[in-house]
């Protein structure tokens, strides 16, 4: 079996589209910028200069706790459920009853 290089395939696809009269698809060029190299591109990064802060989609208030572990992911003053189980803003160590909301 002959393996065709990928660019040859792309070439023949472009040729086919020309023959069929279809306009070439316009693919908007968006450069992939990831300054802190955390794998999250600049456009979706909480802080693209800080690798400890990831995607806005996973941490809406961008304080470092992901949505599922965050008491209120819209409020950066309420922290993670790990330190404040009842999410009243009083951390476990200072909370008389951290299980009662
Ligand atoms: Ca990044
Ligand atoms: Ca980041
Ligand atoms: Ca958060
Ligand atoms: Ca608490």
* φ, ψ at 44 (rounded to 5°): -115, 5
Instruction: Give me ligand 2 centre to Cα 48, in Å.
Output: 4
| The two structure tokens encoding residue 56 | 């806005």
The answer, yes or no, to whether residue 14 has pLDDT greater than 80, is no
pTM for the complete prediction?
0.59
Measured CA distances, 49 to 14, 60, 62, 80, 81 (Å): 39, 17, 13, 23, 26
Contacts of 93 (CB under 8 A, 6+ apart): none
Q: What is the mean pLDDT of residues 83-89?
A: 86
Distance CA 17, CA 92 (A): 64
Instruction: Give me ligand 2 centre to Cα 100, in Å.
Output: 35
> Which ligand is closest to the CA of 36, given by its number?
1
Instruction: Name the band, by pLDDT with cuts 50, 70 and 90, for residue 16.
Output: low
> Which ligand is closest to the CA of 43, given by its number?
1
Q: Regarding predicted confidence, which is higher, 48 or 92?
A: 48
Cβ-contact 101, 87 below 8 angstroms: yes
């Amino acid at each position: 079996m002959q393996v065709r290089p990928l660019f040859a395939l792309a070439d023949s696809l472009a040729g086919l589209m020309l023959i069929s009269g279809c306009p070439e698809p316009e693919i908007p060029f968006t450069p992939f910028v990831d300054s802190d190299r955390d794998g999250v591109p600049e456009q979706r990064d909480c802080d693209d200069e800080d690798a400890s802060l990831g995607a806005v989609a996973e941490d809406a208030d961008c304080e470092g706790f992901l949505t599922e572990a965050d008491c209120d992911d819209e409020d950066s003053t309420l922290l993670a459920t790990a330190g404040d189980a009842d999410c009243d803003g009083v951390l476990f160590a200072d909370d008389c009853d951290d299980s009662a909301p």
